[in-house]
Chains A and B, each alone.
Chain A
Amino acid sequence: MTTAPTPPASRARAAGSAAPAIRAAGLRKSYGDQTVLDGIDLVVPAGTIFALLGPNGAGKTTTVQILSTLIRADDGDLRVAGHDLSREPDAVRGAIGVTGQFSAVDNLLTGEENLLLMADLRHLGRRVRRQRAAELLARFDLEDAATKPAATYSGGMRRRLDLAMTLVGNPEIIFLDEPTTGLDPRSRRSMWQIIRDLVAGGVTIFLTTQYLEEADQLADRIALLDHGKLVAEGTPAELKRLVPGGHIQLHFPTAIEYAAAARLLGDVVRDDDALTLQVPSDGGVHSLRALLDQLDNASVEVGELSVHTPDLDDVFLALTGREPATDQVKEPIR
C-alpha cells in the first residue's frame, strides 16, 4: 500500500469526525506467568497527542510494540487507523510510523542513505525520495552529517535521524517510545516543538514517557500505567484535580501569631510543632491576595509563605503509592 503522501491539511479535515486513531479494549499480554498488560482500555482521537506515563517496567514499550504490530497481544479488541490489528496488520503498518525506545537506524549506512532506504520501502517515486530525504535532513539539522555513517552519530543525532526516518512516509499515526530520554534540555525542547508541529499538521501521536513534565507539556490526554494497569486517564488538568495537593503554606514566627491565624482561618492543616499551617488553595493570585488581606486585617504577622500547586508527581504518588520525587508528608491534624 503505497502511502501516497497525503497533504497534512486535508488529512486533518478528514480526521475531524472520523473514528478514533487508536482504540484498545481489554488489551492483555503476559510473558510466561508474568502479566505485563492486564486489560488496558484506551481511545486516542485522531489529531491529538496521547501520553502513556509510567515508571520502568510498567509495560509502556510492550503497549507500543503491540499497537505497532511488532508483537502480538494475548487478548483484546485492538484497532489502529480503523483497521483490526490481528486481521489487517499490513493496513495498520501502512498508516503508522514508529520510533522505538531503542535506536532503529542502520548503523552501517549514512544518515542520507537511511532516509533513502525508508523512501524506497515506502515506495516513493524516484524524484520524490531525494527531495524528501533532503527536506528531512534540513529539518532535523542533520545536513552536515548526512554523508557520515550513522554509527558515528551522537545519541541526540541518532534520535533525530530515527524520528526523521519515521516521518519519511508521512504516517498519519506516530508512536514515540520515550522520544526524549537521554536528550539534553535544548534537544528535548526542540523535540517537543517537532511533536507539536506534527500534531498541528494533523498527525496523531502516541508517546510514552517517564517524565511527568513532558506529558503535562505535550499531551491532550495522559494515561498512567502501573504494573500493567491504567490507574488514571484524563487531561493533565483532570489528573491534577484528582489530588487535593494544592495549598499555601504559612510559617509563623511565634506561637501566638500561629494560634491567632489558626483560629482565623479555620479549615486548615496544622503543624503545631513547626508553627506552620497549610491552607487549601488553587495557588492563584486572587486567592493568595485574599488570604493575605484576611491576615493583614487581623494584624497577624506571617514569617514565610510558599505556594504548592499539585503536579503530576502528586498524582503519581496518590495513585500508585510510590513517589517519583520526594515531597514533604502532609499530616492532617484535626
Chain B
Amino acid sequence: MSTVSHTFSDSATMLRRNLLHMVRYPSMTLLLFGMPIIFLLLFVYVFGGTLGAGLGGASGGRAEYLRYVIPGILMMTLAAVSQGTAVSIAMDMTEGIIARFRTMAISRASVMTGHVLGSILQALIGLTLVIGIAVLLGFRPNAGLTDWLALIGVLALISLALTWLTVAMGMASKTVESASNVPMPLTLLPFLGSGFVPTDSMPAGLRWFAEYQPFTPFIETIRGLLVGTPIGSSGWQTVAWSLGIALLGYVWARRLYDRDPSR
C-alpha cells in the first residue's frame, strides 16, 4: 500500500464530498459572501466620501476610498469563509458518518483536508465575486499578469492558514453555535489593522497592535499587488505568518481528530 498516494486520493475524495455539500446547499455559501459585499457597499457609499477625503490623496473622495478598502474587504471575505469552515466542520463532526470514516483505512487527516481545500476554493470564488463587484463600482486595479498570479497565490496561502486554524477551532468546539462564535475575532481583525483606515490615524496602543497583527501585512501585500503601493517587508511577513498559522492549525486539528472520541 502506498500511504502517500492514498493521502492524496482520500483528500481528493473528501474534497469532492465537501464540494457536493456546497453545491447542494448553496445558501450557506451565499450567506458567507453576503457579509463582505454588504460591507463593501456600506463603506464605499455611506462612509466612503468622508473616509476618502481623510486619506489625503490627490483625487480624494469615494473613488479613492474604494481603492483603499478593497484589500480589507478581501480579508473580510477570507475571514467569513473560514468562519463558515468552523461551522461546517463542527456540524460534520456531529454526523454519524465521521464515526464510519474513523473505522476505515483512510488517511487520518483527509476529512479535514477536504474541508480546507473546499474552503479555499469557496474563498477564491468569493474573492473573485468581491473584486468583480468592486470593478462594477468603478475600481480599476493596475496589476499586471504576474501581480495577479502572485495575488491568487497569496490569497490562497492566507486562506490555507485561516481555514486550518478554523478547522481546529471548529473541532475544539463542543457545539455548532460555539463553533460559529469562536472565529468571530477574525472578522474584526481587518478593522484593527490597515484594512479600513491607515494605522497611523489610530491611538498609540491600538496602532501598536494594528502594526504587529498578521492582517496588516496581509492587507498591505494584497494592496501592493492590486494597486501598486510599496509592499516592503509585508511580503515575507505574510508568508511567514501564513505558514506559521497553517502549521499551528494543522497540528492542533490533527491532535483533536486523533483524540479518543469517547473522551
Contacts and interface: CB of A to CB of B under 8 A. Distances in A.
Interface of A: 1-3, 31, 65, 68-72, 90-91, 93-94, 96, 98, 100, 102-109, 113, 117, 120-123, 149, 165
A149 B23 CA distance: 13
Contacts of B103: 68-70, 93, 96, 98
11 contacts: A68-B103, A93-B105, A102-B96, A103-B96, A105-B97, A106-B97, A113-B20, A120-B16, A121-B10, A121-B106, A149-B24
Residue with the highest number of chain A CB atoms closer than 10 Å, among B1, B9, B17: B17
A179 to B, nearest CB: 15
Contacts of A108: 20-21, 24-25
Residue with the highest number of chain B CB atoms closer than 10 Å, among A3, A71, A123: A123
A167 B116 CA distance: 29
Contact of A71 (B10, B13, B105, B260): B260
A100 B262 contact: no
Interface string B69-110: 000000000000000000000000001110111111110000
B6 interface: yes
Contacts of A65: 262
Given A68-B103, A104-B97, A106-B95, A121 B1 contact: no
Nearest to B12: A120
Given A108-B21, A109-B20, A120-B13, A100 B96 contact: yes
Contacts of B102: 69-70
Contacts of A98: 100, 103
B207 to A, nearest CB: 46
Contact of B262 (A71, A103, A106): A71
B261 interface: yes
B25 A123 contact: no
Contacts of B104: 93, 121-122
A109 B92 CA distance: 13
Contacts of B25: 108
A129 B82 CA distance: 33
Interface of B: 1, 6, 9-10, 13, 16-17, 20-21, 24-25, 95-97, 99-106, 260-262
A125 to B, nearest CB: 12
Residue with the highest number of chain A CB atoms closer than 10 Å, among B25, B106, B261: B106
Given A100-B100, A103-B96, A109 B17 contact: yes
Contact of B99 (A100, A122, A149): A100
Given A2-B1, A65-B262, A121-B13, A104 B96 contact: yes
A98 B105 CA distance: 12
A117 B101 CA distance: 11
A105 B96 contact: yes
Given A96-B103, A100-B99, A121-B13, 5 more contacts: A93-B105, A100-B100, A106-B95, A108-B25, A117-B13
A69 B103 CA distance: 6
A109 to B, nearest CB: 6
B100 A165 contact: yes
Contacts of A117: 13, 17
Nearest to A103: B96
Residue with the highest number of chain B CB atoms closer than 10 Å, among A1, A103, A104: A104
Residue with the highest number of chain A CB atoms closer than 10 Å, among B16, B24, B105: B105
A105 to B, nearest CB: 6
A206 B120 CA distance: 42
A71 B99 CA distance: 10
A90 B1 CA distance: 11
B249 to A, nearest CB: 24
Contacts of B17: 106, 109, 117
Contacts of B10: 121
A123 B9 contact: yes
A90 B13 CA distance: 19
Nearest to B102: A70
Nearest to B2: A2
Contact of B105 (A1, A120, A165): A1
B21 to A, nearest CB: 5
Contacts of A100: 96, 99-100
A72 B9 CA distance: 27
Nearest to A3: B105
Residue with the highest number of chain B CB atoms closer than 10 Å, among A102, A108, A117: A108
A196 B67 CA distance: 70
Contacts of B106: 121
Nearest to B100: A104
B30 to A, nearest CB: 16
A123 B6 contact: yes
A103 B24 CA distance: 21
Contacts of A109: 17, 20-21, 24
